[in-house]
Amino acid sequence: MSQTSSNRHERASVTTHLIGITTEKNMATRYAKIVLTLALAAFATLVAFNNITDYGSNFAFVKHVLSMDTTFPGNAAMYRAITTPWLWHGAYWLIIAGEALTAVLLARGALALWRARRATGTEFNLAKKCAVAGLTLGFVVWFFGFMVIGGEWFLMWQSHQWNGQEAAFKFYMAILGVLIFLNQPDTDHD
* Beta-carbon contacts of residue 80 (< 8 Å; ≥ 6 apart): 68, 153, 154, 155
Q: 3-class DSSP state for residue 73?
A: coil
CA atoms within 13 A on the CB side of 3: 0
What is the Cα 53 distance to its own chain's centre?
22
150-175 average pLDDT score: 94
Whether residue 113 is contained in a domain is answered as yes
- What is the per-residue pLDDT for 1? 55
Q: 3-class DSSP state for residue 159?
A: coil
Domain interval for residue 119: 3-182
Whether residue 189 is contained in a domain is answered as no
SS3 content of the chain, % helix, strand, coil (to 5): 80, 0, 20
**pTM of the predicted model as reported, rounded to 2 decimal places:** 0.84
Q: Does the pLDDT value for residue 189 go beyond 80?
A: no
DSSP summary character for residue 186: P
pLDDT digits (tens, 9 = 90+) for 119-152: 999 999 999 999 999 999 999 999 999 999 999 9
Can you tell me the distance from the alpha carbon of 178 to that of 137, in angstroms, rounded to the nearest whole number? 13
Whether residue 187 is contained in a domain is answered as no
- Burial (CB count <10 Å: 0-12, 13-18, 19+), residue 155: buried
Under 8 Å between Cβ of 156 and 163: yes
Q: State the Cα torsion 9-15-17-20 to the nearest 10°.
A: -140
State the Cα angle at 146 between 44 and 88, rounded to 5°.
Answer: 90
pLDDT tier at 13, thresholds 50, 70, 90: very low
pLDDT digits (tens, 9 = 90+) for 33-48: 999 999 999 999 999 9
Whether residue 190 is contained in a domain is answered as no
Q: Does the pLDDT value for residue 171 go beyond 50?
A: yes
pLDDT digits (tens, 9 = 90+) for 54-95: 999 999 999 999 999 999 998 999 999 999 999 999 999 999
Whether residue 74 is contained in a domain is answered as yes
Helix (H) or strand (E) holding 101: helix 85-115
pLDDT tier at 23, thresholds 50, 70, 90: low
What phi and psi, each to the nearest 5 degrees, are found at residue 24? Answer: -60, -40
Better-predicted residue by pLDDT, 171 or 22: 171
- What is the per-residue pLDDT for 45? 98
- Total domains in the chain come to 1
What is the Cα 21 distance to its own chain's centre?
30
Q: Chain-wide mean pLDDT for the chain?
A: 90
Whether residue 188 is contained in a domain is answered as no
